[in-house]
Structure 1
């Protein structure tokens, strides 16, 4: 999930609603006009006189120059996403010759979010939905003629890429839920014609696994307790292999088959706290632990694409570290680590494992996509994602481990304004923004973060906390969040804020909370369960009611329903319904005494528009100020750069009014956006004026062409 901001109004005693509204209206607007001209909060002029120049929002939230670098499996070609007429499209070039790159797609809507290569090195595959509805279609680009084929040409259907094999070129295995929206049937699909052949009709399996000959071998099925069972397809029947209990369900996953298709690799937390890399032999049921750590779960595994053996694995506690498994690559990894600046992740390799594609990141510089050649141990750069940031004063990120009130370690990250940073500390407290990650089954990691850089450049300390239920730190840490939405999970965030105040990082009355998805929910919790703790909050696509959230999950989440009930609350029981109601910010909307900004995508299938509508309605009914921004062509988060820019422009003005930080004028940042301010434009300085000065038209996605 993600992040956002608002104005520090205090509701004191019997303060009248008229006085409350006036605090955001005419007088505020006069000061906002000064800000619009100068780009600086006039109350902060003295403290910001020596601050570095404002980094233009366009450089952080607009399209990157290039992104998502890939090598073809044979190593001869490279691909990446880059703007074409302002929209992220796919480009291809001979490996190492980026200047000759040409676009192979011409999307004119929200852009292409993700792509990968077919193992035949002739086809490029990508996914795309319609205006954020997450009904992903899978497309193939034939690089011989640049013809684009929709491999799942059915309206309202979600496609899932399941498998491919080097020994079956021109074929992919795809799941599609056109027969029953809850379950994805399994099809063999031809890359050229999109012709499909049914392999398995699905009436309850969550996942399928095929071996390297594309034979269907394994499937998983959810259990009522929230765990799952693994089945093997043998003798024309599904036979149970083993069961994974609920406590291991989020930390135990099958990775894929071994080289001779007789067993498989998995990340397995059963019988231990941290997920280990394990090999499971199907004939005997024998398990061998290949690698494990007492610090964190194994985060990633680099497999040899042809031999199907693990080459190395990664552990990500505070930062990412790679450890070799295959002795032939030990020296390669050691040499690579000496050459890389900052953290790195190995995204994949060519089929012969001779070239590895890396994402390298020092947090205080734009990330790079690089290629490490194991044949001569050379490291070359494909491209830098944001080259215009190279000369700008980016802030450092500091990993740290905080203690929750019950003693649990909370791996966190602190980013400070470059001009005030004294090696991770400050001479005096400053305003702070608590950025809360989504999921909640995800995590914050060390690395370049556009939002953290943006906020630090505007004069704020930025704290990101891996609260309990975050993944990567063992099943005990994940399961400590069960039943603790708005409970211990929120306490972890409060404890982190208290640490920042005690350390002289944050001013007690100048801390904002913002986030998206679960982070948006955490923002609403912060303003309703601890209403005096935060000066303001920014919520993007955050659920306001856990009851309606769970009752409206997409049909294709059916296999995850029991896990969701076990982790959050079960609406089928009286106790569960009571818990969900008690932990829903909607039912505490009358407690809000701080400004709130809400951003929502109208097509969000996970956190539906109703989640934002209903809390805004509750606040309006109680005459509590709130600003509500809606995007009719977005889903779970904002993908279009025009929409991102418009929202972060509003959030920046909101935060400046709330915390007193620096503020870049709106300028043209609403241009081309579909932004709709449903309520409360006057509560954000400069927003109403920017809307009046811009021609705001709702945009719709234009379909792909095969040109």
Structure 2
């Protein structure tokens, strides 16, 4: 089971993790999964004769419905669904889904997530423009359909700091309008838009607030790459000129596995993930009045993951640990019967997505590896789950592949938790080894401070359906496996981190899974960097590579960061390298694919968003330019209205159409024709369109050139 409620982890710490420690992770969009129904109300099956290929439009198109949420007062059910092809928020009376209607009116860019304000009548969501990550916070009145921008400022990166049932008409918002590197904390009235400054940021990476909207702690990174959690010397004095003293300090070895995880109802107990004097990050409770520290939950293999928290009592009811799969430790016996019942509803992992304040209604999603997400409304007093909808009914007619969870040994003895998907029918006995070796795609996750997980994966299903084995590896540096595993990646970009990938490829060949001469490497963000490393540092291993928004030079990557990354840069110095000295730059260049372009001997496809603030267009432009100078073929796909990844449905469709044709040419898999997948997309292929069959023919002349600069700034 997993919990994605706003009250699972307080918004303050969640924002801190997502904004500061996001690193080069690709933004996940919407995944889906499906299971078999049992004791709950069952959906009607509409399966038909199994077609040959699963269309890309089904695997990568916007879901039909997703993100079910119940309002805190139990009046409304909300979800995401398309309006004229763009995902918007829909709302229905809790007892009549047929009366659902859209309440937001975004016509350009999908809304990718939302949650309820504690008024019970307002939806809150964030949105940027063309992938620039200048996030604004919006609120929609579900009765009137009026949407208000709560942060109507230019060139800002707004984040929700905290929400509280004690103040239903207000939220805390972090804004970097005064100093781009720092977020001040404002109290914002969601009805009027009025805001009041409650904490001017005087150099902190983040603040930790509580349900009373009081600033309790300040959080910062040390020059050595560690962290420090500070409390005011005088209780309650946190304003301008306030003095802070260290409360919890970590060295760089514990920086990514230790941090605050919220308060109890009284505000006198701080929950803390802590890896100090141990490997994995366990959950502790610290009594702030007495200083007593109590272990709440731990696992020797994995850091503490999600938490299920009571909506008003703030008691932690269950904690998850994810090694190969999510495993839950129940702390509150009052929910054991609920979780056991829900486990009987579908044969999949349970995600609690929202709860009413009276705790009588939950929305629950069921996640499988071989089907879409199924959403249910759970009546807790009556222990009854009623089916709401699937994210994609049109997947029902296809037989999807199962995901295996091998743990691969690296050459120096680390356990690399991995995920393998094989084409349906290629593994008759289900042991994770096909009856004959297959072409393989190594799909590398971004971050690198992120991880791959078990569950429905559109990319895995797509590539397996085309005849490939697909392998995703949690290489060293991936998070969730303890600090020793994370720290093993320090300074190892293009070195031991890449060795882990090569070891995994060799494992797949030795096990009879992969054909040695037909292995591709692909990935986004850090995964894109890994692709470029694969083709420049180990040029004979991979038959081809697909780089999506990956950095080509570690020097220019670190020299062109978003301003709000500045507080995090001491950590980057420890984990990646020192860009501020000549010696450091030389060492970073030595580990940069751009310096080894002449080693590229296999076909390369590059995808880039022109507005990417994390891995700027420069990273793609400079390696493509270097390859052109050396007359090395490359195909360059550029989107003027995208950022760090391809959020637009038609842009995703077009890039995957190019990728599918590219992989088929070099690995020999099946291909769905491009068809109309370029229509409605902003795709430009200024270099190498003729290197991929059918691409140049499908594009007009202007799309075979660099987009004009004014187009980049437009939606």
TM-score scaled by structure 2? 0.89
Cα distance in 1 between the residues matched to 2:320 and 2:217? 26
Cα distance in 2 between the residues matched to 1:351 and 1:267? 26
Q: Deviations over 1:655-691 (max 9, x none)?
A: 0001010011111000011001010000001111111
Q: Give ranges in structure 2 of 5+ residues lacking alignment.
A: 1-24, 28-49
Cα distance in 2 between the residues matched to 1:96 and 1:600? 44
Contact 1:2–1:540 (CA under 8 A) maintained in structure 2 = no
What secondary structure sits across from 2:595 in the alignment?
A: helix
Cα distance in 1 between the residues matched to 2:700 and 2:414? 50
Taking structure 1 as reference, are residues 609 and 670 closer, same or farther at Cα in structure 2, changes over 3 Å only?
same
Q: Give ranges in structure 1 of 5+ residues lacking alignment.
A: 4-50
Contact 2:606–2:635 (CA under 8 A) maintained in structure 1 = yes
Match of 1:689 in 2: 697
What secondary structure sits across from 1:114 in the alignment?
A: coil
Taking structure 1 as reference, are residues 472 and 507 closer, same or farther at Cα in structure 2, changes over 3 Å only?
same
Cα distance in 2 between the residues matched to 1:274 and 1:376? 39
Contact 1:319–1:343 (CA under 8 A) maintained in structure 2 = no
Cα distance in 1 between the residues matched to 2:688 and 2:251? 47
For residue 2 of structure 1, report the CA deviation from its aligned partner.
5.3
What secondary structure sits across from 1:497 in the alignment?
A: helix
Cα distance in 1 between the residues matched to 2:573 and 2:165? 40
Cα distance in 2 between the residues matched to 1:571 and 1:80? 44
Cα distance in 2 between the residues matched to 1:626 and 1:114? 36
Match of 1:497 in 2: 505
Taking structure 1 as reference, are residues 264 and 371 closer, same or farther at Cα in structure 2, changes over 3 Å only?
farther
The answer to which structure, 1 or 2, has the higher relative contact order (CA under 8 A, 6+ apart) is 1
Match of 1:451 in 2: 459
Among candidates 512, 517, 535, match of residue 509 of structure 1? 517
Cα distance in 2 between the residues matched to 1:225 and 1:141? 43
Q: Deviations over 1:248-304 (max 9, x none)?
A: 111122121111111211221122111111112222332111111112111111111
Among candidates 428, 437, 441, match of residue 433 of structure 1? 441
Contact 1:653–1:663 (CA under 8 A) maintained in structure 2 = yes
The answer to whether residue 204 in structure 2 is matched with residue 196 in structure 1 is no
Contact 2:307–2:316 (CA under 8 A) maintained in structure 1 = yes
Contact 2:186–2:197 (CA under 8 A) maintained in structure 1 = yes
Cα distance in 2 between the residues matched to 1:351 and 1:207? 28
Count matched residues: 657
Q: Deviations over 1:102-131 (max 9, x none)?
A: 001111112212211111212100000010
Taking structure 1 as reference, are residues 149 and 534 closer, same or farther at Cα in structure 2, changes over 3 Å only?
same
The answer to whether residue 294 in structure 2 is matched with residue 288 in structure 1 is yes
Q: Deviations over 1:58-93 (max 9, x none)?
A: 001111101222111222211111110011111111
Match of 1:560 in 2: 568
For residue 52 of structure 1, report the CA deviation from its aligned partner.
6.0
What RMSD over aligned residues (CA atoms) do the two structures have, in Å? 1.9
Greater shift after overlay, 562-571 or 623-632?
Answer: 562-571
TM-score scaled by structure 1? 0.90
For residue 366 of structure 1, report the CA deviation from its aligned partner.
1.1
The answer to whether residue 392 in structure 2 is matched with residue 386 in structure 1 is yes
Contact 2:159–2:173 (CA under 8 A) maintained in structure 1 = yes
For residue 334 of structure 1, report the CA deviation from its aligned partner.
2.2
Taking structure 1 as reference, are residues 99 and 315 closer, same or farther at Cα in structure 2, changes over 3 Å only?
same
Contact 1:108–1:701 (CA under 8 A) maintained in structure 2 = no
Q: Deviations over 1:408-432 (max 9, x none)?
A: 1111111011021221221111101
Q: Deviations over 1:372-403 (max 9, x none)?
A: 33323222333211110011121111111111
Q: Deviations over 1:153-202 (max 9, x none)?
A: 00101111011211112111101001000001110111012111111111
Match of 2:76 in 1: 77
Taking structure 1 as reference, are residues 575 and 695 closer, same or farther at Cα in structure 2, changes over 3 Å only?
closer
Taking structure 1 as reference, are residues 103 and 701 closer, same or farther at Cα in structure 2, changes over 3 Å only?
farther
Matches within 5 A, 1:166-185: 166-185=165-184
Match of 1:31 in 2: none
Match of 1:231 in 2: 230
Cα distance in 2 between the residues matched to 1:659 and 1:170? 56
Cα distance in 2 between the residues matched to 1:477 and 1:512? 26
Contact 1:320–1:345 (CA under 8 A) maintained in structure 2 = no
For residue 692 of structure 1, report the CA deviation from its aligned partner.
4.1
Taking structure 1 as reference, are residues 149 and 185 closer, same or farther at Cα in structure 2, changes over 3 Å only?
same
Cα distance in 1 between the residues matched to 2:657 and 2:99? 35
Matches within 5 A, 1:38-53: 53=52
Cα distance in 1 between the residues matched to 2:188 and 2:535? 49
Cα distance in 1 between the residues matched to 2:350 and 2:472? 20
